[in-house]
Amino acid sequence: MVHSSSSQYCSDCGALNEEGVSLCFACNHALHISHAPVSAQIAVNTLFKDRYQIISKIGAGGFGSVYKATDIHSKDHIFAIKEVSLRGLRPQAVIEATETFQKEVSLLSQLKHPNLPRLYDTFNEPEHWYMVMDFIEGETLEKYQERAQDRRLLLSEVFQIGIQLCTVLDYLHTQQPPIIFRDLKPANILRTPQGQIYLIDFGIARYFKPGQAKDTTALGSPGYAAPEQYGRAQTTPRADIYSLGAVLHQLLTSSDPSETPFRFVTLHVDSHLSLSELGTLIARMLEMDMNKRPASVAIVKQELQRIAADFLKYGIFWRFMVFHAILSQITVRPRSSNWQSFGRA
């Protein structure tokens, strides 16, 4: 994943701001916009490095591009090649791009999980860096939600996505030292047609350092990043729990948290006790005080699994009652006929 050229980091606090704003949303510092041209080395329909047949460009952003390619040395296995271009960048931008690339390589080379892309190779040329990774057929969760009815996902899908995200975040958090992703948002989550979830873009992930008062650099995406990511304290795994809460809230309500950072409408799910518990869980995940959030993502996963199981029982019960009512020619209706999805009209 490559950061979009329409976004910009604050040079004072490090927050990631959207296009067109003049002041940082997190610290109110003036932003200085400069877009450097990105020059690509790779051309479509060519053989790159005498090995990779470039099929198409599948993504582009401020520092480079991502390509789909086949490896002629491994029975035409399909890979994604991420290119980071330093050409034309200002010195500070070169430093940022290089650090981001090296950090992502360092982390991915040590990780192996079903919900993470694998890194196979890296190499560099003058002013260009490259990563060869798994090619994942799918789309970002952001795009997937845009196509959903009323931009809200089925509750069953939200449970499935949430539990998968908990699984991979727990894997990261239980590394030694723990790895905090720090940029969990729909644009950094890939979904395959089969519903499998992948985390992408480890450019700002970091190791947790016991005893450190706060992060050296504050980074994150507005609306999804926890308050402590903006210089208040060192980010811990609970920062990812906050971001996960923001993602789940968005999937259920279609409300984009980047439009009103740190402010979330209350989830009104009173049709069944288990749904009320879901709203309560997400509210706890979104606490401004990190000590009031669930202690670990493993606890969040257990709660989601329990609530999902209760909800499934509720749905099966009412399906049985409706079937029995049809046989008995009796009209029976659950308190909410909207048990398959949250908030849909």
As annotated, the active-site residues are: 183
Q: Which amino acid is at 41?
A: Q
Helices (H) and strands (E) in the chain, counts: 6, 13
Instruction: Collect all residues with Cβ–Cβ distance below 8 Å to 282 and sequence separation of at least 6.
Output: 245, 248, 249, 252, 267
Buried b (16+ CB within 10 A) or exposed e, 179-202: bbbbbbbbbbbbbeeeeebbbbbb
For residue 105, how many C-alpha atoms fall within 13 Å in the half-sphere facing its CB? 19
Instruction: Collect all residues with Cβ–Cβ distance below 8 Å to 256 and sequence separation of at least 6.
Output: 223, 250
Question: Token pair for residue 206?
Answer: 């970091």
Element (DSSP H or E) covering residue 119: strand 119-125
Q: Return the sign of the alpha-carbon dihedral for residues 151, 153, 154, 155.
A: negative
Distance, CA of 277 to CA of 188 (rounded, Å): 27
Element (DSSP H or E) covering residue 302: helix 297-328
- Residue recorded with tokens 């499934």: 312
Spatial CA neighbour of 121 closest among 190, 85, 71: 71
| Largest CA-CA distance found in the chain, in angstroms, rounded | 77
Q: Which amino acid is at 285?
A: M
Find residue 198's DSSP bridge partners.
190
Question: Token pair for residue 13?
Answer: 């606090």
Distance, CA of 10 to CA of 262 (rounded, Å): 18
Element (DSSP H or E) covering residue 84: strand 77-85
